[in-house]
Structure 1
Amino acid sequence: MFDVSADGAYLDHAATGVLGRHVTDAVGDYLEGRAGRIDGRSPNNFPADLDRIERARRRAADLVGVPVEWVAMVPNTSYGLNLLVQGLDWMPGDRVAVPGCEFPANLLPWLGLADLGVEVDRVAHRDGVFSVDDVAAAIRPETRVVAVSAVQFLSGFRCDLEAIAALCRDRGVLLAVDAIQAVGAVRLDAGALGIDLLATGGHKWLGAMQGAGFVAVAPDLMERLRPMRGWLNGPVDWDDFDAISTDLHPDATRFHVGTMPTAGLYALDAALGAILGVGPDAIERAALANAARLGDGLERLGYDRVGPQGEPRSGIVTVRADDPEGLHAHLVERGVTCSLRSRLVRFAAHAQTRPEAVDLALDAVASFSRPVAA
């Protein structure tokens, strides 16, 4: 499905995933239809788009283990999280607990509530790793939300969502999850876990395009949120647009405001279909096997892994280096694509990454040596 060049090693899925042929074919079909180049198909494709969006919703719901009624399509993770950030009835003195190692997408929106008198408490962490006890220590009587990433973007740490969700239920606190570094690579059953809101973009491990993702919102929370209003939040009389209704849809489509990035949703629908076709369990096993191959190889070469030790539980493997900039440049020169983040070198192989690509990357790391200073 994935046409990755055999000449290099693409190990950067934590930044941007690879588009498979099934995705580019779906987008091409959409574009040809919009251009009027397909017999019998009108460039006015809106009805067909609605059908495709509904299929993408069903597939997203299946992937994260929730009813389709919980799912809405959103442009990105930040938008999905902001359904809660902007939609809850905040009061001065309310608090939010966020790990100190969060990606800015799951920190800055909460900090933006300062004008309403809402304060953010940072959960203690060590090298991007935190425990349930660390989360518990950050919760106060005024805490209304705990917001975490399912997989930490740099260390690859996969937090104990089951225990954190149980803690939040016990304390009467909402749980919001940034799932962009998890969904598509490792299994995540939001319904069984009791996550109140899960948000993800499609362009990393899901293998879709920037600008299209989805959110899953539990019904109890859905009823408490005030959605941004647009013309698609509720029923539309397609025969009489003067018949205005302020009613909201009974499900998560109440968060659909207006026209969506339909090319991106065609891509996301195709990507979700491929993942469900292969099977999330099989994908997780392959992704973790590649991460273990990388982690073990890097350790043999003397590199110190950041974050959790032992068998990887996500697709991310990050290491320290004496000269991280030099190592990264050396890898790029040898056809290895990875990321340099906070002076750490991050590798992110996916299920479809060939073992030969992992070995190519390890050989390139082994060949790196810094010039001796005169």
Structure 2
Amino acid sequence: MLSRAEIEELFPATRKLVYLDTAYRGPLCKPAGDAAEAYLRSISARGSLEIPRYIELLNNCRKRLATVFNAKPEEFVFLANATDAFSRVTLGIDWREGDEVVAPENDYPGVLRPLLDLRRRGVKLVLVPARDDAVFAEQLLAACTPRTRLIAASHVNFRTGFCLDVSTLCAGAKKMGVLTAIDFVQSAGCLQLDFGALGADFGTFAARKWFCALDTLGIFYVREESLNKLTPHTLGLFSVAEPHNFDALDQPLAPGARRFMLGAPPYIQIAAFDAALELYQRVGAAEVEAAGRALGRTIREGAKTGCLGESWPAGAQAPIVCLLREGKLADESLGPRLLQRGIVASVRKGIIRVSPHWFNAESDVDRLFDALAAFEPRK
């Protein structure tokens, strides 16, 4: 791992803040910021002459994604955000009235609302109740019926930090002929992921969280063998095989996930993401996960009021830790008072969601616990 000085150079937010809120939004890393500024300078100086270079960068970024996630470059496409990507699944399946979708009841609204919207097409959403603040793979599989077409779930739950056994879920779903759509927003860039081994048909994640890049960039993964199980909900310039052949209006769909792309790609976001992804590779996926998990364990062990998921198996505990807000910590002034001490965490109803990343140190955890121990509600 890098020295503290090197980390502060890479993540300027860490110079003055104890930043424990990456699950909400990662602090922009310097390589991503530099890449975005370089894009603006180049387009300002040379305009359209720079576009070929950024098309090449886009293609190289897809190759980098393929290396990081053990997939193929053609299985990735860049979209506006993770929910935009997820909606390509719900809009792309050839639903029939009476079909069913299975999902955890406590999942992210960006997952559940597109599923709920399927009611207008006669599709039933089956929400599986949480058990000990978690919905396990076995519960989701048990909720399937002969009418089930899709299981959708987050790999890591944003509310609780519960880590779903995706490989078990996807293997079980495949045996039943059920498709799987997994939201990797809270695990991509945090946990080491092998899309080839996990087996999900479709996956989504964002650049802005654990990769610490820019907003408004979602990544859509479509497993090669599952490509023809989705139909693009509409077509645009880049959805076809030869997008710049303007005289051939009616064309075959583009090969791979690019068929879900509509207009011009967000080059500045992709340039920033590619730089952030390169940093992630340089640090090492295994090292990033190990650092996050170690800090997560430290937080769980030091929690005086307890935390969610204490009885979960170790493999179900992601680096996201939700401390219980009991007694004086339930006071509504807790969030602003932590911020006064330079501590950034997500203070929510009943919990403090703490999401450490590899750039954090144990001293950050110490400062959080010192602040919680010293906290007294204002009279």
TM tier, shorter chain? Answer: over 0.9
Rounded to whole Å, the distance in 1 between the matches of 2:51 and 2:310 is: 47
Give 1:249-328 correspondences, 5 Å limit.
249-298=254-303, 302-309=304-311, 313-322=317-326, 323=330, 325-328=332-335
Pairwise CA distance, 1:211: 0.5
1:157–1:308: 8 Å Cα contact kept in structure 2? Answer: no
Give the TM-score normalised by the residue count of structure 1: 0.93
Partner of 2:5: none
Q: 1:113–1:119: 8 Å Cα contact kept in structure 2?
A: yes
TM-score if structure 2 supplies the norm length? 0.91
Q: Distance in 2 between matches of 1:308 and 1:363?
A: 22
Counterpart in the other structure of 1:347? 354
Q: Secondary structure at the match of 1:5?
A: helix
- Aligned residue type for 1:306: L
Match of 2:238 among 212, 227, 232: 232
2-structure distance, mates of 1:64, 1:371: 48
Secondary structure of the equivalent of 2:36? Answer: helix
Measure how far apart 1:229 and its partner are: 0.2
Change (3 A) 1:277 1:122: same
Alpha-carbon deviation of 1:364?
0.7
Aligned to 1:110: 115
CA distance in structure 1 between the partners assigned to 2:123 and 2:294 by the alignment: 42
1:44 deviates by: 4.0
Contact map agreement 1:185 1:284 (CA 8 A) in 2: yes
From the superposition, tell whether residues 337 and 237 of structure 1 become closer, same or farther in structure 2 (CA, over 3 Å).
Answer: closer
Alpha-carbon distance between aligned partners in 2 of 1:120 and 1:54, rounded to the nearest angstrom: 37
Between 121-130 and 186-195, report the one with greater CA deviation: 121-130
TM-align CA RMSD: 1.7
Aligned residue for 1:21?
Answer: 30
Which residue of structure 2 lines up, in the alignment, with residue 11 of structure 1?
20
The count of residues paired between Structure 1 and Structure 2 equals 364
Most deviating of 186-195 and 363-372: 363-372
Give a deviation string over 1:84-126, Cα, whole Å, max 9, x none: 1001100000000010110101100010011110010011212
Superposition deviation, residue 62 in structure 1: 1.9
Which of 363, 372, 375 pairs up with 1:368? 375
How far is 1:332 from its partner?
1.6
Mapping of residues 1-374 of structure 1, within 5 Å: 1-36=10-45, 41-227=46-232, 228-236=234-242, 238=244, 241-298=246-303, 302-309=304-311, 313-322=317-326, 323=330, 325-370=332-377
Cα deviation for residue 160 of structure 1 reads 0.7
The alignment partner of 1:35 has SS state of: helix
Distance in 2 (alpha carbons) for counterparts of 1:355 and 1:329? 22
Letter of the 1:232 partner, please give it.
F
In the other structure, the counterpart of 2:7 is none
Structure 1: 5+ residue stretches without partners: none
Distance 2:31 2:112 in 1: 34
Residue type at the aligned position of 1:233: S
Task: State the identity as a percent.
Answer: 30
Bigger helix fraction: 2
Q: Report the alpha carbon displacement of residue 324 of structure 1 after superposing the two structures with TM.
A: 5.0
Pair 304,324 (structure 1): closer, same or farther in 2 beyond 3 Å: farther
- In the alignment, the residues of structure 2 paired with residue 21 and residue 15 of structure 1 have an alpha-carbon distance, to the nearest angstrom, of 19
Shift of 1:242: 2.4
Moved more, 139-148 or 125-134: 125-134
Shift of 1:309: 4.1
User: Is the 2:334–2:347 Cα contact (8 Å) retained in structure 1?
Assistant: no
1:12–1:339: 8 Å Cα contact kept in structure 2? yes
What CA distance in whole angstroms lies between the structure 1 residues aligned with 2:14 and 2:275? Answer: 21
Shift in Å at residue 250 of structure 1? 1.6
**Residues in 2 aligned to 1:250 and 1:106: alpha-carbon distance in whole angstroms:** 26
Structure 1, residues 37-92: CA drift from partner, whole Å, max 9, x if none?
Answer: xxxx4454321221111111112222222111211112111111111100110000
